[in-house]
């Protein structure tokens, strides 16, 4: 049953995407679609994403303890699919992820994965490339924050 | 075999006693169903059932879970029998669950189901079940819907009168169906010395209030008879336990005839509070025995089997005021206590009436010493002194009784294939409906507790015949759901079951649904072979044992290329599912494995042992469709001859074709 559901969700998200008339080959089209979807659903903030995180306080420099905690969580729950370089494995490589998305978006996506995949244009575009729905790894709020700090460090923030 | 013999004799009795009775198989049973039945059982797609129904799987050895009123099968929980689908009894972690003093027993016959109670009401924590053949009791944890514990019973054979429990789940009771010489006595005696050498043992298994762990608190050594079923007292009778006994003739051959001679056998009343005091006072005789206690640790995801060597035994004839016998007509089967605890219903399967005993009258009879004599040293109360009354002409072959919340009792009639509703107040028959066919147990949600419900009744039947599309000589068994909310019982659903459904219990889904575990936290996984993240995945050789610490996540195995396995090796795949979401199990299988697959829940570690039988290439893969790239979730193990110099090597994603070696183009892209 769930297998069908997964396929159905993937198909549905692809269908919705193409149903909007989007050609997903070029980034510019994606941008157009993103703004279009957002304008159709004004309550949804594609910058922030859907989830409990509305405003994440970020320090000027990396908190080394938090980043190390994030590294540990990465090892157990994320490294199976994400490299720290820009190379795609199952999911996209993490290099530069903090420059592509806001901290709120990232933390909402990794804690509220299914809802984001069902509604967020950028998450759906990524799913279309990877074709494996990102698992919800049931991260705590602290885990999510620590992972973001680890990603910042990985992106060269001192 | 016994059952078949019983059935046959019951048919004979039915035919000979009542030649005029009309056929119990209506020509067109569909006519008995009203047009509004469909609406009563229809649970719309995506909606939930009102009740969880736990149904014995009989000779399948497993426990089935149905949703009521839709009668949809939700799950089969493996208990006493191996289940290759789930790796139950095949994985290294679960093998110890089926250990006994006889060794690994891969099957049993699961008859009865008892949900844990607090203050006489179902509390939704555990389900207890019996293994009838190699005497055992299992405990299923209703947070995980998995078997958490199995305990073996010494001095027993045919654990039928089990597992019934006291009102606060202080004890699970297990009475032996077959009396046998006690385990510390020489069993190598002539079979026809039953009367001298055979004893009937009843086990009181204590249940730890916090974690449910079972231990044999004590045993009662009773006269050599067959204990059939039992129930705890309730309320005022809550310190007592009642057992039906047959074969009080003490026959050891052709029981069909020789155990059916006496007009009355017994209901045995046990003052278990008294037994508890005697044990606390050190009156129990320490007896050397051997039995297995198997527990599954949720943190290590691993079972441990411990062999224990002693029980405390009370010989009931040495302790007056502990046990009394009450005559009960003709081989009583069901022994059921009404919600108030006042009425004890004994259903003599060869009797033409149903006697109802009064707890108050039993107490008075004991005080007045209204005994008609003794049986093997145990006082026998006069029938009339204990009797509240008899239900006259209820039907043929009364077996089991359940109760509703309006003072009614419902008794199954095996021979006449019907359910009979009668009033506890005046013992008159109020209604009867046919079953299809040869009904055994009945079940009303809460129907043996202090707080029964009054909407649904299910009949679990022994014979199916023409109820469903034919499937060759072997048919599934059948059950029927009745609406009992009105004066007249109404058949509303007919459905097949697994194995032979004996007893079942049901409870409102609210009590269980929200406590259901969705996945195991990887942080809490204490399995010694866990891999917490792919960086910890590895392959370790210890002599000829090779341990593969493997992770599973959508959708790849790590490692997925393993070389350097040699003939003579024993390979242990310790598969950890590092997903942390609901309903994302991964399976694991490898070609030629002589056992089964693994089905690994998120956060769990499970181990498959594999002994390669030949040199060559062995694919392994995920068996449970997990993502769009599930078909890619696979790998290879290379097996070389013993003594080969192929080095132990493992990887995922890096073992690529070398450009300078003339091979075909690599099929899979890097980074898969």
Residue-wise pLDDT tens digits, B244-265: 999 999 999 999 999 999 999 9
pLDDT of residue B60: 97
**Which of chain A's residues have a Cβ under 8 Å away from the Cβ of B578?**
76-77, 80
Nearest residue on chain B to A86, alpha-carbon basis: B671
Task: Provide mean pLDDT across the span B203-213.
Answer: 98
Is pLDDT at B234 greater than 70 in this prediction? yes
Domain's final residue, options B305, B328, B351: B328
Q: Give the Cα separation of B388 and B404 in Å (integer).
A: 19
Strand, coil or helix: A97: helix
Please check whether residue B76 lies inside any domain of the structure: no
Q: Across the A/B interface, how many CB contacts are shorter than 8 Å?
A: 69
Q: Give the Cα separation of B183 and B289 in Å (integer).
A: 6
Please check whether residue B268 lies inside any domain of the structure: yes
- Mean pLDDT across chain A, nearest whole number? 81
pLDDT of residue A132: 87
Q: State whether residue A10 sits within 8 Å of chain B by CB.
A: yes
Is pLDDT at B85 greater than 80 in this prediction? yes
Please check whether residue B243 lies inside any domain of the structure: yes
Q: State whether residue A5 sits within 8 Å of chain B by CB.
A: no
Report, in this order, helix, strand and coil percent for chain B, each rounded to 5: 10, 45, 45
Contact predicate B515/B561, CB 8 Å: no
Q: In chain A, pLDDT over 70 holds for what percent of residues?
A: 73
- H or E segment and range at residue B625: none
**Which of chain B's residues have a Cβ under 8 Å away from the Cβ of A111?**
none
The residues, ordered by sequence, that sit 6+ positions from B240 with a Cβ below 8 Å of its Cβ are B232, B233, B269, B270, B271, B272, B273, B359
* Closest listed residue to residue B345, CA positions, set B431, B263, B242: B242
Counting Cα atoms < 13 Å in the Cβ hemisphere of B456 gives 26
**Which of chain A's residues have a Cβ under 8 Å away from the Cβ of B533?**
75-77, 79-80
**Which of chain B's residues have a Cβ under 8 Å away from the Cβ of A76?**
522-523, 532-533, 578
* Closest listed residue to residue B69, CA positions, set B502, B450, B491, B551: B491
Q: Give the Cα separation of B667 and B669 in Å (integer).
A: 6
pLDDT of residue A30: 41
pLDDT of residue A41: 62
Nearest residue on chain B to A136, alpha-carbon basis: B581
CATH number at residue B244: 2.130.10.10
The residues, ordered by sequence, that sit 6+ positions from B111 with a Cβ below 8 Å of its Cβ are B56, B58, B129, B130, B132, B160, B162, B502, B503
Inter-chain touch B578–A80, beta carbons under 8 Å? yes
Contact predicate B444/B380, CB 8 Å: no
The number of distinct structural domains making up chain B is 2
Residue-wise pLDDT tens digits, A36-81: 444 456 689 999 999 999 999 999 999 999 999 999 999 999 999 9
Q: Point out the least confidently predicted range of A149-158, B7-16, B160-169, B188-197.
A: B7-16
**Which of chain A's residues have a Cβ under 8 Å away from the Cβ of B534?**
75, 79-80
Choose the mutation target among A80, A113, A134 for the interface with B, i.e. most B CBs under 10 Å.
A80
Taking the CA of residue A65 and the nearest CA in chain B, the distance in Å comes to 19
Q: Give the Cα separation of A89 and A105 in Å (integer).
A: 21
Which residue among A79, A88, A139 sits closest to B534, beta carbon to beta carbon?
A79
Sign of the Cα pseudo-torsion (B288, B292, B295, B300, in order): positive
Is pLDDT at B27 greater than 70 in this prediction? no
Which residue among B521, B581, B671 sits closest to A89, beta carbon to beta carbon?
B671
Q: How far is CA B188 from the centre of its chain?
A: 31
Q: State whether residue A4 sits within 8 Å of chain B by CB.
A: no
Domains and CATH numbers, chain A: 2-42+63-154 (1.10.760.10)
Taking the CA of residue B593 and the nearest CA in chain A, the distance in Å comes to 26
The residues, ordered by sequence, that sit 6+ positions from B435 with a Cβ below 8 Å of its Cβ are B412, B417, B418, B419, B459, B461, B480
Which residue among B519, B536, B553 sits closest to A81, beta carbon to beta carbon?
B553
Q: How distant, in Å, are the alpha carbons of A114, B277, B321, B380, B386 from that of B366? A: 67, 19, 9, 10, 9
Strand, coil or helix: B591: coil
Q: Give the Cα separation of B124 and B509 in Å (integer).
A: 9
* Closest listed residue to residue B333, CA positions, set B354, B353, B347, B351: B347
Residue B6 pLDDT class (50, 70, 90 cuts): low
Is pLDDT at B607 greater than 50 in this prediction? yes
Q: How distant, in Å, are the alpha carbons of B110, B162, B334, B459 from that of B502? A: 8, 12, 12, 10
Inter-chain touch A75–B532, beta carbons under 8 Å? yes
Q: State whether residue A90 sits within 8 Å of chain B by CB.
A: yes
Please check whether residue B349 lies inside any domain of the structure: no
Taking the CA of residue A137 and the nearest CA in chain B, the distance in Å comes to 4
pLDDT of residue B658: 82
Please check whether residue B215 lies inside any domain of the structure: yes
Q: Give the Cα separation of B180 and B176 in Å (integer).
A: 9
Residue-wise pLDDT tens digits, B445-497: 999 999 999 999 999 999 999 999 999 999 999 999 999 999 999 999 999 99
Query: Which residues constitute the domain of residue B647?
Result: 522-651
Please check whether residue B580 lies inside any domain of the structure: yes
Q: In chain B, pLDDT over 70 holds for what percent of residues?
A: 93
Residue B610 pLDDT class (50, 70, 90 cuts): very high
Sign of the Cα pseudo-torsion (B489, B495, B500, B505, in order): negative
Say yes or no: ipTM exceeds 0.85. no
Nearest residue on chain A to B669, alpha-carbon basis: A89
Buried b / exposed e over B132-147, threshold 16 CB at 10 Å, is: bbbbbbbbbbbebbbb
Taking the CA of residue A19 and the nearest CA in chain B, the distance in Å comes to 21
Inter-chain touch B625–A3, beta carbons under 8 Å? yes
DSSP result, B392-407: ES--SSEEEEEE-TTS
Residue A135: both structure tokens together = 């698992």
- Relative to beta strand B439-443, strand B456-461 is antiparallel
Nearest residue on chain A to B46, alpha-carbon basis: A1
Nearest residue on chain B to A76, alpha-carbon basis: B533
Inter-chain touch B558–A80, beta carbons under 8 Å? yes
Torsion of CA B657, B659, B664, B666, to 10 degrees: 40
**Which of chain B's residues have a Cβ under 8 Å away from the Cβ of A7?**
628
Q: How distant, in Å, are the alpha carbons of A10, B17, B231, B521, B570 from that of B574? A: 31, 63, 44, 17, 13
Nearest residue on chain B to A73, alpha-carbon basis: B533
Task: Provide mean pLDDT across the span B345-353.
Answer: 92
Q: State whether residue A140 sits within 8 Å of chain B by CB.
A: no
Q: Give the Cα separation of A97 and A103 in Å (integer).
A: 10
CATH number at residue B556: 2.60.40.420
Report, in this order, helix, strand and coil percent for chain A, each rounded to 5: 60, 0, 40
Is pLDDT at B550 greater than 90 in this prediction? yes
Between residues B588 and B3, which one has the greater pLDDT?
B588
Q: Point out the least confidently predicted range of A22-26, A105-109, B275-279.
A: A22-26
Q: State whether residue A129 sits within 8 Å of chain B by CB.
A: no
Contact predicate B379/B407, CB 8 Å: no
Q: Give the Cα separation of B30 and B47 in Å (integer).
A: 27
Q: B243-249, long-range: CB within 8 Å, 24+ apart, which pairs?
A: B243/B161, B243/B175, B243/B202, B243/B267, B243/B268, B243/B270, B243/B335, B244/B161, B244/B268, B244/B328, B244/B332, B244/B333, B244/B334, B244/B335, B244/B346, B244/B347, B245/B200, B245/B325, B245/B332, B246/B331, B246/B332, B246/B333, B247/B331, B248/B375
Domain's final residue, options B313, B328, B343: B328
Task: Provide mean pLDDT across the span B402-410.
Answer: 98
pLDDT of residue B132: 97
Is pLDDT at B106 greater than 60 in this prediction? yes
pLDDT of residue B35: 74
Inter-chain touch A132–B628, beta carbons under 8 Å? yes
Contact predicate B473/B30, CB 8 Å: no
Q: Give the Cα separation of B527 and B463 in Å (integer).
A: 46
Which residue among B522, B554, B581 sits closest to A76, beta carbon to beta carbon?
B522
Is pLDDT at B17 greater than 70 in this prediction? no
Inter-chain touch B551–A80, beta carbons under 8 Å? yes
Between residues A4 and B343, which one has the greater pLDDT?
B343
Q: Which residues of B touch A (CB under 8 A)?
A: 519, 521-523, 532-536, 551, 553-556, 558, 578-581, 583-584, 625-630, 653, 671
Task: Provide mean pLDDT across the span A77-105.
Answer: 95
Backbone phi, then psi, for B30, in 5-degree steps? -60, -25
Q: Give the Cα separation of A45 and B349 in Å (integer).
A: 71
Inter-chain touch B671–A10, beta carbons under 8 Å? no
**Burial (CB count within 10 angstroms: exposed 0-12, middle 13-18, buried 19+), residue B62:** buried
Residue B12 pLDDT class (50, 70, 90 cuts): very low
- Residue B250: how many CB atoms within 10 A of its CB? 18
pLDDT of residue A11: 44
Backbone phi, then psi, for B67, in 5-degree steps? -95, 135
Please check whether residue B625 lies inside any domain of the structure: yes
Taking the CA of residue A105 and the nearest CA in chain B, the distance in Å comes to 20
pLDDT of residue B662: 53
Inter-chain touch B628–A7, beta carbons under 8 Å? yes
Task: Provide mean pLDDT across the span A98-121.
Answer: 96
Q: State whether residue A38 sits within 8 Å of chain B by CB.
A: no
Please check whether residue B51 lies inside any domain of the structure: no
Torsion of CA B461, B467, B473, B475, to 10 degrees: -50
Q: State whether residue A88 sits within 8 Å of chain B by CB.
A: yes
Domain's final residue, options B290, B310, B328: B328
pLDDT of residue B25: 47
pLDDT of residue B18: 43
Q: Point out the least confidently predicted range of B11-25, B449-463, B578-592.
A: B11-25
Inter-chain touch B580–A136, beta carbons under 8 Å? yes
């Amino acid at each position: 049953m769930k297998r069908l559901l997964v396929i159905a969700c993937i198909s549905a998200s692809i269908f919705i995407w193409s149903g909007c008339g989007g050609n997903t080959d070029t980034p510019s089209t994606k941008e157009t679609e993103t703004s279009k979807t957002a304008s159709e659903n004004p309550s949804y903030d594609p910058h922030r994403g859907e989830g409990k995180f509305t405003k994440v306080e970020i320090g000027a420099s990396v908190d080394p303890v938090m980043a190390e905690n994030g590294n540990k969580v990465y090892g157990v729950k994320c490294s199976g699919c994400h490299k720290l370089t820009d190379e795609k494995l199952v999911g996209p490589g993490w290099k530069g992820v903090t420059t592509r998305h806001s901290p709120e978006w990232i933390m909402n996506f990794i804690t509220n994965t299914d809802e984001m995949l069902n509604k967020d244009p950028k998450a759906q575009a990524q799913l279309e490339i990877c074709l494996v729905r990102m698992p919800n790894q049931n991260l705590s709020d602290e885990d999510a924050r620590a992972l973001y700090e680890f990603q910042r460090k990985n992106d060269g923030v001192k | 075999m016994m059952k078949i013999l019983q059935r046959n004799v019951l048919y004979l009795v039915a035919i000979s006693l009542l030649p005029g009775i009309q056929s119990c198989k209506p020509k067109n049973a569909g006519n008995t169903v009203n047009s509004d039945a469909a609406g009563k059982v229809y649970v719309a797609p995506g909606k939930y059932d009102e009740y969880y129904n736990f149904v014995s799987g009989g000779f399948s050895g497993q426990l089935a879970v149905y949703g009521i009123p839709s009668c949809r099968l939700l799950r089969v929980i493996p208990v006493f029998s191996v289940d290759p689908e789930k790796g139950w009894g095949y994985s290294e972690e679960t093998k110890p669950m089926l250990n006994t003093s006889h060794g690994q027993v891969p099957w049993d016959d699961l008859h009865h189901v008892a949900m844990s109670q607090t203050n006489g009401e179902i509390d939704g924590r555990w389900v207890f079940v019996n293994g009838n053949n190699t005497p055992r009791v299992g405990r299923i944890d209703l947070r995980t819907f998995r078997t958490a514990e199995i305990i073996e019973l010494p001095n027993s054979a045919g654990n039928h009168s089990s597992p019934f429990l006291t009102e606060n789940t202080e004890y699970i009771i297990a009475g032996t169906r077959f009396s046998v010489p006690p385990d510390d006595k020489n069993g190598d005696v002539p079979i026809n010395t039953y009367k001298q050498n055979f004893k009937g043992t009843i086990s009181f298994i204590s249940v730890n209030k916090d974690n449910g762990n079972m231990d044999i608190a004590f045993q009662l050594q009773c006269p050599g008879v067959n204990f059939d079923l039992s129930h705890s007292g309730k309320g005022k009778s809550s310190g007592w336990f009642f057992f039906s006994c047959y074969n009080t003739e003490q026959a050891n051959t052709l029981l069909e005839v020789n155990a059916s001679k006496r007009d009355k056998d017994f209901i045995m009343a046990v003052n278990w509070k008294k037994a508890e005091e005697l044990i606390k006072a050190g009156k129990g005789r320490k007896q050397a025995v051997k039995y297995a206690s198997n527990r599954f640790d949720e943190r290590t995801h691993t079972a441990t089997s411990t062999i224990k060597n002693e029980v405390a035994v009370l010989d009931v004839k040495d302790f007056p005021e502990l046990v009394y016998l009450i005559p009960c007509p003709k081989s009583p089967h069901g022994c059921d206590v009404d919600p108030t605890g006042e009425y004890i219903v004994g259903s003599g399967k060869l009797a033409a009436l149903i006697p109802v005993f009064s707890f108050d009258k039993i107490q008075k009879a004991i005080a007045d010493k209204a005994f008609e004599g003794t049986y093997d040293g145990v006082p026998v109360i006069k029938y009339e002194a204990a009797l509240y009354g008899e239900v006259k002409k209820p039907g043929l072959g009364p077996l089991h009784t359940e109760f509703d919340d309006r003072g009614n009792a419902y008794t199954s009639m095996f021979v006449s294939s019907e359910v009979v509703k009668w009033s506890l107040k005046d013992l008159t028959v109020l209604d009867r409906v046919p079953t299809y066919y040869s009904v055994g147990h009945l079940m009303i949600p809460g129907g043996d507790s202090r707080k029964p419900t009054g909407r649904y009744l299910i009949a679990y039947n022994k014979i199916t015949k023409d109820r469903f599309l034919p499937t060759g000589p072997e048919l599934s068994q059948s059950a029927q759901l009745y609406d009992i909310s009105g004066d007249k019982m109404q058949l509303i659903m007919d459905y097949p079951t697994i194995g032979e459904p004996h007893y079942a219990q049901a409870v409102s889904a609210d009590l269980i649904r929200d406590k259901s575990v969705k996945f195991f936290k990887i942080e809490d996984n204490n399995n010694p072979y866990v891999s917490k993240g792919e960086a910890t995945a590895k392959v370790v050789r210890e002599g000829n044992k090779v341990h593969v610490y493997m992770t599973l996540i959508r959708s790849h195995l790590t490692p997925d290329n393993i070389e350097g396995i040699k003939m003579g090796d024993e390979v242990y795949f310790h598969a950890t599912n590092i997903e942390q979401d609901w309903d994302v199990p991964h399976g694991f299988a490898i070609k030629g494995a002589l056992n089964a697959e693994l089905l690994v829940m998120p956060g769990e570690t499970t181990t498959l042992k594999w002994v390669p039988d030949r040199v060559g290439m062995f694919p392994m893969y995920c068996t449970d469709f997990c993502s769009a790239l599930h078909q890619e979730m696979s790998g290879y193990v290379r097996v070389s001859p013993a003594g080969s110099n192929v080095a132990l090597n493992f990887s995922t994603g890096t073992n690529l074709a070398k450009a300078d070696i003339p091979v075909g183009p690599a099929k899979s892209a890097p980074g898969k």
